[in-house]
Amino acid sequence: MFKRSYELMEQTLKVYIYSEGKRPIFHTPILKGIYASEGWFMKLLKSNRQFVTKNAKRAHLFYLPFSSRMLEETLYVSDSHDRKPLVKCLTDYLSMIIQRHRFWNRTAGADHFLVACHDWAPSETKQLMGNCIRALCNADVKEGFQFGKDASLPETYVKSPKNPLREIGGKSLSRRQNLAFFARNMHGYLRPILLRHWENKDPAIKIFGPIAKAAYINHMKSSKFCICAKGYEVNSPRVVEAIFYECVPVIISDNFVPPFFETLDWESFSVFIPEKNIPELKTILTSIPDKRYREMQRRVKIVQQHFLWHPKPVRFDVFHMILHSVWHNRVFGIATTR
């Protein structure tokens, strides 16, 4: 079903990109860091000849080309806790689009979409652009993420824009000595709980706070399971990093909707553990038979292609998968309203 839907997208889909909007909030892709997904998608779509059309009458979808990261960097006053200027900017922009074009009002924005990776994007767009298809890194059902309409955007941490695939891969199964690994800053309430239960408690489970980047990567490449614990929000770049380094993801984040859930069978290559079950972490992981684990790790390698950024898009890569999620939800939305 996915293959047929994907091929239909390749043959059919046309996207119109609005030219309105001042830089740096609009039309300025960010290609480095944890918010890079929105920037890479913008960059690759704007240069795409297959899907993009300059004739809006031919378009099936309309892209709102703003960067949620640049919106925050440009307009948010540090420590003010005031996001009203950010919402006003988007409100003014949308009002201009509606005045200059007639396409929004045809469907009340249902054929429009945005791609945003900043944690604040769900709340900033919930009312104003709530009828759009929202591709969000912070795909939290408690924050208004809607199944069948919104798309879960992979949060990919890009270290080198010139070589986004640097250091890809991991060690062979025989050289993965750690049962599980986690390290990073103690954002949110969940990670301190993880440390309290498991830091220095078991030699097979490597749980740390912040560590050096080289050590972090080496541990991911040397572990069977990589813990992807939520921070302030449900999303974490560790989900994609685990896949990047061929480590089976262990997602501890209630209410998180994983990327491409409408296509990928996540339970075949990852483990979901309820937040309340952190004390049983080792019991849960060691209860997975070795044959089952090997199959999951093999599937991690298979799905890896769907999470990779390429300077020039490749079929079934993350650029195409994001576009397919939007396309799929639009087609699904039309079908269910008939």
- Domain residue spans in the chain? 1-160+312-332, 173-307
pLDDT beyond 80 at 80: yes
φ, ψ (nearest 5 deg) of residue 271: -120, 130
Predicted local confidence at residue 186, as pLDDT: 92
Q: In what order do the strands lie in the sheet with 223-229?
A: 205-207, 178-182, 223-229, 248-252, 271-272
Give residue 337's pLDDT band: very low, low, confident or very high (50, 70, 90): low
φ, ψ (nearest 5 deg) of residue 178: -85, 135
Give residue 15's pLDDT band: very low, low, confident or very high (50, 70, 90): very high
Predicted local confidence at residue 336, as pLDDT: 57
Domain covering 173-307: architecture: 3-Layer(aba) Sandwich (3.40)
Mean pLDDT of all residues in 169-188: 95
pLDDT beyond 70 at 335: no
Whole-prediction pTM value?
0.96
pLDDT digits (tens, 9 = 90+) for 284-328: 999 999 999 999 999 999 999 999 999 999 999 999 999 999 999
- Coil, helix or strand for 181? strand
